């Protein structure tokens, strides 16, 4: 840093091999900065014929010439090291700023001291290339508003990350996280990584659509080079953030309240804050049916529930009215205090955020809902991967996740496990209070009355929120490529219907007359009622598969892998055929859909399971809350929780 008086703004331009675009970039900056206390720092990151002539044509530039090409991150950091501005604005050399570009960025930073960085809207001829970004599936960067008209963009808003093509960052925040990370040399993912590290420190990232730059995408590199650099940096990014660390940050903060209250204000009932990824919709899968089960259980216990979604992807609907839940924004540091008696958090990537919230409420118990052991899923996934780099990345993520879940076991007040086996694992990690809530508890079995002849085909219940690398996606590929060709030899008319909104595009090529993607199904029970069997071809995962539970309780026989049948109580085992070999799986599927006697045998076993005395009882969250010293409005005679004794 120099000892001269600081400026308000330093615009840092990384120049590399693009002479004409750089000239246009600097010319537009000269016009835009005329009324600002600002400097332009140009980092010559590599040499190019004619670049000195371009620099000489523009006045008052601070030029930095590293001895070698430092890549995007290193070059930007080199520019920041000599810059004098309180705000650092990073701008691509092939970007041309529109009038008012800088003022809009500065106004947003001045408006809210919690904002560390503001990105611009990136345009090409009035069409948006990106205006902020989100993390698909909680990890994969995805540009927002791509293809929209620039004129149709809404007001400024918080985002999960913003592009380094045009990004204003407070110097204090930039230096607090040590700037861009050169590990992403030469390029790609450094801007996402910077934004995530800023958010880990409690800062917000925004996009300001009235700050616009015109940009020629990838003008400084070839397609082949881009592909090589992109994949290398992508692997680095996933190794750092793919274990749930990025997901733990949650979605961007929302302004105002998006709540739609469906419950009265507090009336002396215990108040419980429940935190999960999104507002649960049963048809979307991904553990959401279990969360709905919890909310119903808390409602039935007479608890006043506040539900906060980390990601504002789904809004409450009329279907949520019977839950008696008040939907609220996720509490933020320094925000309004809630009147709370307990906090329940689901999924490991949300636990750190819940701990931060709980720190403001001394003595309030923090309960962890373990809907699965996520590290077990990752270890199993790694065993199926042939590529050594991908396998190593998954194994590293699995070990990191195992350490995270072990730490949760020791730090949570109470663990709510989904099975005895997983409860024992938490206990072995040091958890002192572990309870088991079976996914069968509180679900009224409702076997349909249709006969074998009145049903057809098979049903695969899926949710696609986890994206193209999810257990569901792997299971569908395995079913299509390994199982169905063997099945169709003996049952050529078989149809497997796959549910779920917006399946990954990569699965589209698998669609056929025998494998049909039917989209989101609002009436899951109705879809099961016309199927001869359900298939659960899951090859990696953890916990109890709710799609298996739903099918069994609907009286629909199941053909599953051992992972798909994991954790299912013995009383329901007669309703399943379990096979991991594709030939054996195909044989079981053919028998289930073509043989009335085979189907009847499994269906009779399910009818017997439904008729047997229930051991689980009704949901009774009041039992576990009472064990923590919180009185509820209902006492339970038959708690579904199995308190696991220390071992």
The rounded distance, in Å, linking the Cα atoms of 230 and 235 is: 9
Would you tell me how many other CB atoms lie within 10 Å of the CB of residue 485? 12
**End-of-domain residue from the set 437, 471, 487:** 437
What range defines the domain where residue 479 resides? 452-611
What pLDDT does residue 343 have?
Answer: 95
The rounded distance, in Å, linking the Cα atoms of 561 and 581 is: 8
- Is the predicted pLDDT of residue 339 greater than 90, yes or no? no
Chain position carrying tokens 């009436």? 523
Assigned domain for 627 exists: no
The rounded distance, in Å, linking the Cα atoms of 462 and 366 is: 31
End-to-end CA distance of the chain: 59
The rounded distance, in Å, linking the Cα atoms of 528 and 461 is: 9
The pLDDT confidence band at residue 596, using thresholds 50, 70 and 90, is: very high
Specify the CATH number for the domain of residue 165.
3.90.550.10
- Residue 481 CB contacts under 8 Å (≥ 6 apart), including other chains: 510
Q: Is 307 exposed, middle or buried (0-12, 13-18, 19+ CB in 10 A)?
A: buried
Tell me 321's DSSP state. G
Assigned domain for 292 exists: yes
Residue 166, helix vs strand vs coil: strand
What mean pLDDT is reported for the chain? 84
Do 221 and 298 sit in the same domain of this protein?
no
The pLDDT confidence band at residue 468, using thresholds 50, 70 and 90, is: confident
Return the higher-pLDDT residue of 418 and 243. 418
Task: Tell whether the torsion through CA atoms of 66, 68, 70 and 71 is positive or negative.
Answer: positive
Do 461 and 431 sit in the same domain of this protein?
no
Do 195 and 88 sit in the same domain of this protein?
yes
Do 510 and 590 sit in the same domain of this protein?
yes
How far is residue 592 from each of residues 65, 556, 560, 583, 602, measured CA to CA in Å?
A: 71, 10, 12, 14, 9
Do 523 and 590 sit in the same domain of this protein?
yes
Do 329 and 421 sit in the same domain of this protein?
yes
What pLDDT does residue 631 have?
Answer: 64
Return the higher-pLDDT residue of 190 and 288. 190
Do 202 and 144 sit in the same domain of this protein?
yes
Q: How large is the average pLDDT for residues 545-570?
A: 90
**End-of-domain residue from the set 409, 437, 465:** 437
Q: How large is the average pLDDT for residues 2-30?
A: 80
Query: Which of 147-151, 208-212, 477-481 is predicted with the least confidence, judged by mean pLDDT?
Result: 147-151
- Find, among 499, 427, 432, 421, the residue nearest to 459 by Cα: 499
Are 71 and 182 within 8 A, CB to CB?
yes
The pLDDT confidence band at residue 170, using thresholds 50, 70 and 90, is: very high
What pLDDT does residue 632 have?
Answer: 62
The rounded distance, in Å, linking the Cα atoms of 137 and 160 is: 12
pTM higher than 0.95: no
- DSSP-derived secondary structure for 283-338: GG-TTHHHHHHHHHHHHHTT-EEEEEESSTTS---GGGGGGTEEEEPPP-TTSPPP
Residue 446, helix vs strand vs coil: coil
Q: How large is the average pLDDT for residues 607-635?
A: 68
Q: How large is the average pLDDT for residues 194-213?
A: 95
- When divided into structural domains, the chain yields a total of 3
Do 535 and 511 sit in the same domain of this protein?
yes
Tell me the pairing of strands 533-536 and 558-560.
Answer: parallel
Are 116 and 101 within 8 A, CB to CB?
no
The angle formed by the CA atoms of residues 576, 578 and 583, to the nearest 5 degrees, is: 130
Do 239 and 312 sit in the same domain of this protein?
no
The rounded distance, in Å, linking the Cα atoms of 323 and 127 is: 43
Do 171 and 120 sit in the same domain of this protein?
yes
Do 227 and 200 sit in the same domain of this protein?
yes
- Is the predicted pLDDT of residue 7 greater than 80, yes or no? no
- Is the predicted pLDDT of residue 392 greater than 70, yes or no? yes
Beta strand ranges found along 538-586 (DSSP E): 558-560, 576-578
The rounded distance, in Å, linking the Cα atoms of 536 and 539 is: 9
H-helix or E-strand spanning residue 435: strand 434-437
Q: How large is the average pLDDT for residues 353-370?
A: 90
The pLDDT confidence band at residue 203, using thresholds 50, 70 and 90, is: very high
What pLDDT does residue 243 have?
Answer: 66
Assigned domain for 220 exists: yes
Assigned domain for 164 exists: yes
Do 223 and 336 sit in the same domain of this protein?
no
- Find, among 159, 38, 131, the residue nearest to 87 by Cα: 38
Q: What are phi and psi of 503, to 5 degrees?
A: -65, 155
Assigned domain for 607 exists: yes
What pLDDT does residue 253 have?
Answer: 39
Counted residue by residue, the chain has a size of 647
Are 406 and 427 within 8 A, CB to CB?
no
Q: List 328's β-bridge partners, or say none.
A: 308
Query: Which of 30-39, 105-114, 419-428, 537-546 is predicted with the least confidence, judged by mean pLDDT?
Result: 537-546
Assigned domain for 620 exists: no
What pLDDT does residue 229 have?
Answer: 67
H-helix or E-strand spanning residue 341: none
Assigned domain for 266 exists: no
Residue 366, helix vs strand vs coil: strand
Specify the CATH number for the domain of residue 288.
3.40.50.2000
Helix axes 420-428, 388-411, angle to 10 degrees: 80
Assigned domain for 533 exists: yes
pLDDT per residue as tens digits for the range 93-146:
999 999 999 999 999 999 888 999 999 999 988 889 999 999 877 888 888 998
The rounded distance, in Å, linking the Cα atoms of 639 and 614 is: 12
What pLDDT does residue 17 have?
Answer: 63
- Is the predicted pLDDT of residue 270 greater than 80, yes or no? yes
What pLDDT does residue 265 have?
Answer: 40
How far does CA 563 lie from the centroid of its chain?
23
Q: Does a cis peptide bond (omega within 30 degrees of 0) precede residue 496?
A: no
The rounded distance, in Å, linking the Cα atoms of 11 and 60 is: 12
């Amino acid at each position: 840093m120099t000892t001269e008086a600081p400026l308000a703004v330093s615009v840092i331009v990384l120049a590399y091999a693009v002479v004409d675009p750089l000239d246009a970039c600097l010319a537009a900056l000269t016009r835009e900065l005329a009324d600002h206390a600002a400097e332009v720092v140009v980092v010559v990151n590599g040499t190019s014929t004619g670049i000195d002539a371009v620099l000489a044509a523009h006045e008052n530039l601070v030029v930095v010439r590293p001895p070698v090409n430092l890549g995007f991150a290193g070059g930007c950091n080199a520019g920041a090291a000599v810059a004098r501005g309180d705000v650092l604005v990073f701008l691509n050399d092939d970007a041309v700023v529109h009038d008012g570009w800088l003022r809009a960025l500065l106004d947003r930073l001045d408006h809210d001291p919690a904002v560390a960085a503001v990105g611009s809207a990136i345009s090409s001829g009035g069409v948006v290339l990106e205006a902020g970004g989100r993390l698909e599936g909680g990890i994969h960067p995805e540009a927002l508003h791509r293809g929209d008209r620039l004129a149709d963009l809404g007001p400024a808003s918080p985002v999960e990350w913003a592009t380094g093509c045009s990004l204003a960052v407070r110097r204090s925040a930039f230096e607090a996280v040590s700037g861009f990370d050169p590990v992403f040399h030469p390029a790609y993912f450094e801007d996402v990584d910077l934004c995530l590290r800023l958010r880990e420190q409690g800062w917000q990232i925004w996009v300001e659509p009235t700050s616009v730059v015109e940009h020629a995408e990838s003008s400084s590199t070839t397609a082949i080079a881009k592909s090589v650099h992109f994949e290398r940096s992508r692997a680095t990014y996933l190794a750092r953030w793919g274990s749930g660390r990025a997901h733990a940050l949650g979605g961007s903060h929302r302004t105002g309240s998006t709540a739609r209250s469906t419950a009265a204000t507090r009336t002396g009932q215990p108040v419980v804050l429940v935190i999960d990824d999104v507002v649960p919709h049963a048809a979307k899968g991904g553990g959401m049916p279990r969360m709905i089960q919890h909310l119903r259980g808390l409602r039935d216990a007479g608890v006043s529930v506040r539900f906060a979604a980390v990601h504002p992807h789904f809004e409450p609907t009329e279907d949520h009215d019977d839950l008696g839940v008040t939907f609220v924004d996720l509490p933020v540091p320094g925000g309004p205090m809630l009147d709370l008696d307990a906090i329940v958090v689901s999924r490991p990537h949300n636990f750190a955020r819940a701990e931060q919230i709980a720190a403001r409420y001394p003595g309030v118990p923090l309960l962890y809902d373990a809907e699965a052991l996520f590290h077990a899923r990752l270890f199993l996934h790694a065993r199926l991967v042939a590529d050594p780099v991908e396998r190593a990345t998954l194994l590293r993520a699995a070990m990191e996740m195992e350490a995270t879940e072990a730490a949760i076991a020791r730090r949570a007040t109470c663990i709510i496990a989904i099975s005895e086996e997983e409860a024992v694992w938490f206990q072995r990690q040091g958890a002192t209070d572990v309870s088991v809530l079976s996914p069968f508890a509180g679900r009224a079995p409702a076997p349909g009355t249709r006969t074998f002849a009145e049903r057809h085909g098979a049903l695969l219940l899926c949710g696609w929120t986890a994206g193209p690398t999810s257990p569901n996606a792997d299971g569908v590929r395995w079913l299509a490529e390994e199982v169905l060709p063997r099945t169709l030899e003996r049952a050529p008319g078989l149809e497997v219907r796959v549910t779920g909104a917006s399946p990954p595009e990569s699965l589209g090529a698998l669609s056929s007359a025998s494998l049909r993607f039917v989209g989101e199904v609002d009436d899951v029970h109705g879809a099961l009622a016309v199927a001869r069997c359900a298939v659960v071809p899951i090859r990696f995962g953890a916990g109890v598969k709710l799609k298996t539970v739903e099918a069994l309780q609907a009286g629909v026989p199941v053909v599953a892998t051992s992972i798909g049948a994991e954790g299912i109580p013995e009383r329901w085992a007669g309703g399943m055929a379990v096979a991991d070999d594709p030939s054996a799986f195909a044989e079981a599927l053919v028998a289930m859909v073509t043989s009335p006697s085979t189907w009847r045998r499994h269906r009779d076993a399910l009818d017997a399971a439904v008729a047997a005395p229930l051991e689980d009882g009704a949901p009774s969250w009041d039992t576990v809350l009472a064990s923590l010293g919180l009185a509820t409005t209902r006492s339970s005679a038959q708690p579904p929780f199995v308190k696991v004794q220390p071992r």
